[in-house]
Amino acid sequence: MKRKAVPFAAAMLLLLTLSGCARLIEREYSYVADHPRDYIEENNGQFLIVENYQGLRSAIMYFVSEMADTGVIRLSKYTGNIANDVAEACLDISRNDPIGAFCVDYITHDYSRIVSYYEITLNFYYSRTREEVDSIVHIYSLDRAKKELAEAYTDRDESLLLRCYNYDDWADELSQYISSIYYELPAYALAFPTVNVQTYPESGQQRILEVNIEYDFSTRVLSIRTERLKTISQKLINTLRLTSDPEDGQVAADSLYALCGWLGENVVYDYDSEDNAFFDESYVKDSPFTAYGALHDGKAASEGYSLAVKLICDMLDIDCRVVQGRRGGFFHCWNIVRIGDGYYHLDPSTFSDPELSPVFLLSDTSLSDEYRWNLSNYPICAESWPMEELQEDSSPEAGGETPAGPQDPLASPSADAPPEARPDAQPEPGISEEGPQPEPHEDQTE
């Protein structure tokens, strides 16, 4: 009869920690068992032999980790109360162990005496699939959890499973972090997602986090919009010849002025949607609050303008942030950009309103009369950019080349034209004026 001793994993975990290899474990997604394997495998794992309660629990945990339907354990020289100990171990695993609490529905068991030992037969019933358990990512820090959430968001995944070690109230942090991701990744900021986090078990330093990400549109529609938005943005950069030079801040300033001029001529400020979102807490922000609304539909609220500028700046390697604050007492978004060693305010929506003075590369002091924002959340803008240094042909009205003309594939026939009249407005799967429609098959192209 072949007999094999199972390694004691806790000792290995201690060795790795002392040798400074814990970071390597996280980076390579290695998994170190958090329970000792105090059992012996017989007949290539057909049954396990244990001698005490710790070995009994560890053996049951082994079957759960393998998602076995059945398991056999033989008790040799066992001195405890078998019936009570088996019931207690099964209940403890299904309620308090992260894997058990996540995937075990319930466990049935029976035992009988065979000559010199007792044999326990277990039957396992699961509430999760093998694929779900295999998809669990093992992490050791909140920063890693945030990175995984960001990747899931950009991949348009609707769920994420994390095995967390040294857990400390990460669920609330992750729920709030989605807002930061949203405004940092404007190409994907097309529908504000709702994040729900469930922990297994509900207490303890080791838990499994089930993160569910819900969107207002199907992930297929969102992916199509993201790719289309990237294409439109690149066309705009090429058409306006936008660029930046880390050695010459004036290049970035000229490009930003040309971009704001194009937005002012080709995008309609959607005051109605912005007012509705401000006065109605139940209002769901839609396309005008996205870069897609500004660059594809030609209609945007201040949030859409600022996300469009953020997207173009990211593509030009210009440091840019979306500021959430107030203008005239109402919620409003604009940008802070870094040129050289300085930071400057930029409100692209002001270029669409002839009654407003354009806010372009201004200091905190220049904006303080009408704008309000949390100073602790954003860099200080100490001074304004010298406007006289802007190239004359950067301004649409300066007599230079107009960035968007009839021959330009990005130009709209009219700034007031409805979305369907704009050249880049294309029908999308699942969206129409009449409401949601059936989506195309996977092999159907746009």
Residue 89 and residue 199 share a domain: no
Average pLDDT over residues 268-296: 92
Highest mean pLDDT among 32-46, 169-183, 419-433: 169-183
Give the pLDDT confidence of 340-389 residue by residue, as tens digits.
999 999 999 999 999 999 999 999 999 988 999 999 999 999 999 998 76
pTM for the complete prediction?
Answer: 0.74
The verdict on residue 277 lying in a domain is yes
CA distance 61 to 36: 10
CA distance 362 to 359: 7
The verdict on residue 210 lying in a domain is yes
Query: Which among 197, 214, 231 is the end of a domain?
Result: 214
CATH number at residue 200: 3.30.1370
Q: What pLDDT is attached to residue 120?
A: 95
Average pLDDT over residues 173-188: 93
Residue 193 and residue 107 share a domain: no
Q: What pLDDT is attached to residue 37?
A: 59
Residue 26 and residue 171 share a domain: no
The model's confidence at residue 224, banded by pLDDT at 50, 70 and 90, is very high
Strand, helix or coil at 38?
coil
Residue 271 and residue 250 share a domain: yes
CATH number at residue 259: 3.10.620
Give the pLDDT confidence of 393-416 residue by residue, as tens digits.
444 443 334 333 333 334 443 334
Residue 354 and residue 223 share a domain: yes
Supply the mean pLDDT for the chain. 82
Q: What pLDDT is attached to residue 4?
A: 41
Q: What pLDDT is attached to residue 413?
A: 36
Give the pLDDT confidence of 2-18 residue by residue, as tens digits.
344 444 444 444 344 44
Q: What pLDDT is attached to residue 432?
A: 37
Average pLDDT over residues 185-196: 93
The verdict on residue 446 lying in a domain is no
Count: domains in the chain: 3
Give the pLDDT confidence of 320-332 residue by residue, as tens digits.
999 999 999 999 9
pLDDT at 179 over 80: yes
Q: What pLDDT is attached to residue 377?
A: 94
CA distance 363 to 383: 5
CA distance 93 to 106: 10
Q: Are 327 and 342 in contact (CB under 8 A)?
A: no
Residue 62 and residue 159 share a domain: no
Q: Are 381 and 336 in contact (CB under 8 A)?
A: yes
Give Cβ neighbours of residue 261 (< 8 Å, ≥ 6 apart).
351, 394, 395, 396, 403
The verdict on residue 445 lying in a domain is no
Give residue 64's domain range: 3-130
The model's confidence at residue 28, banded by pLDDT at 50, 70 and 90, is very low
Residue 235 and residue 169 share a domain: no
CA distance 177 to 379: 20
pLDDT at 192 over 70: yes
CA distance 72 to 45: 9
Residue 398 and residue 276 share a domain: yes
CA distance 382 to 225: 38
Q: In 3D, which of 288, 287, 292, 240 has the Cα closest to residue 268? A: 288
Residue 173 and residue 145 share a domain: yes
Q: Are 171 and 207 in contact (CB under 8 A)?
A: no
Average pLDDT over residues 203-221: 93
Residue 364 and residue 248 share a domain: yes
Q: Are 85 and 117 in contact (CB under 8 A)?
A: no
Give the pLDDT confidence of 44-102 residue by residue, as tens digits.
657 899 999 999 999 999 999 999 999 999 998 888 899 999 999 999 999 999 999 99
Q: Which two tokens mark 110?
A: 């029976």
CA distance 269 to 416: 10
The verdict on residue 431 lying in a domain is no
Residue 165 and residue 50 share a domain: no
Average pLDDT over residues 132-150: 95
pLDDT at 334 over 60: yes
The model's confidence at residue 281, banded by pLDDT at 50, 70 and 90, is confident
Query: Which among 85, 107, 130 is the end of a domain?
Result: 130
Q: Is the omega angle on the peptide bond into residue 396 within 30 degrees of 0, that is, cis?
A: no
Query: Which among 166, 181, 214 is the end of a domain?
Result: 214
pLDDT at 249 over 90: yes
Residue 235 and residue 119 share a domain: no
